[in-house]
Structure formats: C-alpha cells, structure tokens
Structure 1
Amino acid sequence: MSQELKRAIEESYRVVVFTGAGISTESGIPDFRSPTGLWKKYAPIDFQEFMASADMRAEAWRRKFEMDKTMAKAAPNKGHMAIAKWVGEGKVSHVITQNVDGLHHVSGVPEDKIIELHGNATYATCLGCGLRHELEEVRALFEASGAAPDCRDCGGIVKSATISFGQAMPEKEMERAHEATLGCDLFLAIGSSLQVFPAAGFPILAKRNGARLIIINREETDMDEIADLVLHEEIGPVLRAVAMLN
C-alpha cells in the first residue's frame, strides 16, 4: 500500500497535505477528542466565557501553562519531516493543519506554506490590537499576579493564538486553504478524524474538484468510502518509508 502512495505522490504535480492530531500524537502530544484526550481532563472554555469573565481567562491560562509542560517536550517526528521534505522539493504546495502545536514550523516547512486553521498555541495575541505576545512574557505576568495579563500596548485581552469553541474561524486562513485545495491534484488527509467542520470540508472539496484523495489515519473515518486510497497505519513509519528518510 505504501508503494501505491509513493506512486500517487510521484505522479502528482501539486499536492496539498492536510494534517490532524494523529500526526502529532506520535510526537507525544495527546489529542483532544479521544476517550483519553485533553478535553476529558479539561473541558474546553467557550470563547464567550473567556471574553466575559476575568476568572475564566485566568483559568484558561492556568490550563494552558499546565498543558504546555507536555507540548514543550514534543519534537517533529518522521511524519512531519517527510512532509517538510516534500515541501522543500516543491511537490507539496501547502500544509493545511488543524493542529496548534507548531511542529510543522519546527520541521522546516516555510511559514508561507503552512495554513493553520485552528491557530497556533506557541504564542499569544491581543484580541484588541493584534499585537503578538510571547508566552514567556505572559507566563511571568500570570505567575506574578495570578490574573490574566492585559496587552502592554492597548490594554486589551490577551489570548493564546488558537481558535476556541465559539470563536470565528480565521477568514484569511480559510480562504488560503480553499484556494490551495482547488489548486491541487492530490489531497493527502493525514491523522485527522475528518469530523470537525468546516475544516473537514476541504477533502470533500478536493475530491469534487477532481483531485485524488488519500487518507492516512489509524482509525476509520466517515470519508474512507470516497477516498482513492486509505491506509489505516501508523503515520510516521508510512511517510518515512515513502519519503525514503533515514
């Protein structure tokens, strides 16, 4: 089956890769939605709750820094490195990801090739003026006061640069993902349950537009039946073999 995947990539002119939590669990980052996922321990805080309550903002930052103890240990695995290799070779035009861990950046994929649909957990932004805040700065202020810090420029609310429940999807990134999907002739959906919309609509869009759809995921997905190839295998070993990494 990996030979069929290899042949499909070689025969394609413009590949788009779409990644979900499954590629990062192999780097030691727990997912959110599984029976043992992070949301079983920490129920997600709705965006409106975050905005309305200083106490909820403080709780959100407390959870964030607790989860970062795990995320900080993670490094890109062979799956990430294979994708980075294909981007470097010009085979993959864009990496659309549902993940917020930043591991595609660390693997060497250029920033302009990455489309983060759910944001990025490695820094924070002011919801008022958009100023970027580094997490070290936010952590120091939080630990000193126990309160969620305000923006140093405008005094606005500072939030991890991720998309929360109830928060609007980023229009620019959604538009970029739409354009990239329509421009590909092969769409690789990797490590995603393909259940979370609107993000999960991109594989369907690619298929309807005439691209081949290949799904690589340990578990079955609702879109397996429309895919041209489905691999229910460990992601890192499969991509490592196809990309011929050491």
Structure 2
Amino acid sequence: MGKLYIIGTPIGNLKDISLRAVETLKESDVIFVEDKRVTVKLLNSLEIGKKELFTFSEYNANKVLKKALDIVKQKNICSLVSDAGMPVISDPGYQLINKCWEEGIEIDIIPGPNAPSAAIALSGFPGSKYMFYGFLPRGKNKRRVLRNIKDIDILFVFFESPQRLVNTLKEILEIIGDRDIFIAREMTKIHQELFRGKVSEALAHFSENKVRGEITVVLSGRDSNNETV
C-alpha cells in the first residue's frame, strides 16, 4: 500500500510554497494534478525536475478514479495538488481521498495557502464564523442562494468569475442590500487588487473597467438587529 499526501500549493505567488510541501513533492513517485501545465510551472520554479504526473480533474475524476487508486496502491508516495490553494476546496480530489479511506490507504496533509481564509483576514470584518460556498450557481439558482443568506449573521465567502462579478453585485444589491463587501482580485500576484466598501461602491468600481483574474468575495453578515456586522 502506498501513501497519499494532500498538498496545498500557492494561490498566486510561487514563493508561498512550504518547505515540507517542496520536500514531499521531491519524494513523490506520482503527483495527481488538475492541469499538468500549471504543475510543471511550479515544479520548474522549485527546481524539482521531471515527475510522473497524472491528470485528475473535475472533467475526468470519475472516469480515471479506479486507475488513480491503483496507482496509489502500487507506489510508495503519491501527492495530490490542485492548480492553486488546497485541493478539494472548490477543486477536484475528494473522490480519490474518499476511496483511500474506504481502502484503508494512509493519507496525510501538508496545508498551504487558502483563498477564503486569506480574504477573510484581509477584509478586517468582525466575526469568527463564516460560510464558504465556492462558485455561486447561475441564474435563478444564484438568486435563490442570495435570498437564503439574506438574514444570516455570519460572513459569506465565495468565488466569482470576472465575467459574472458585476452582474452578481447587482443581484446582491437588489436582493440583500447595500452591505459592506470585500473583493480580492489576483491575491498575492503582481496585479493584486483589494477592494473594501459598500456593494454599491463595488458595483460602480468594477463596472468602470474590464475585470480580470481570480476573484474571492467576502460579504458581511447581518446581526439580530438587521445591521451589517
């Protein structure tokens, strides 16, 4: 039986990799990746050299699950990474981890950067409780989610695509109201942008220019007196 390591990788700046992550990637016989091109770039920056990579993405996870599990059983050390941040958190990988538990295969984790927690820390919003949704659904399902969280008293954290951000802000303003909001774009990267203000201010700001990059949003909660917190 082999061993599977879940490894957190940088969300942007490649220098954010941990020493233990580097050591484990060097020792890995096989690395399960979301996109080989992204992982090769990381390995090259760390001067690790060539490694056997196996694509395990949201598009092929169910199809290659059995083969991936067989690889873990046959190899000494296998690692699971995503393109950025912690695997499984709005990224593929849970299927393989679940099967490893069922088969009694040893699992370990090397935690790393995480976009939701980084955005919450940067926001400066009070409160230790939050709800993380991942990417919001489209259309009427998104509006249903927004209606459901309208009266929650905790932070609501989610990812959004550049193409949908402005429309989502419009719907938040219409359904939830003009709460405090924090938006992090391209965190830790060269073109990082951090915005904090009201939803209406964010809408005006991001409507002016074409939005690019990866986006994490933190929406403030509402307390029992219906005031933003």
Common fold by TM > 0.5:
no
TM-score, with normalisation over the residues of structure 2? 0.33
Q: Work out which structure has the larger RCO, using CA pairs closer than 8 Å and 6 or more positions apart in sequence.
A: 1
Q: Point out the structure with the larger strand share.
A: 2
TM-score, with normalisation over the residues of structure 1? 0.32
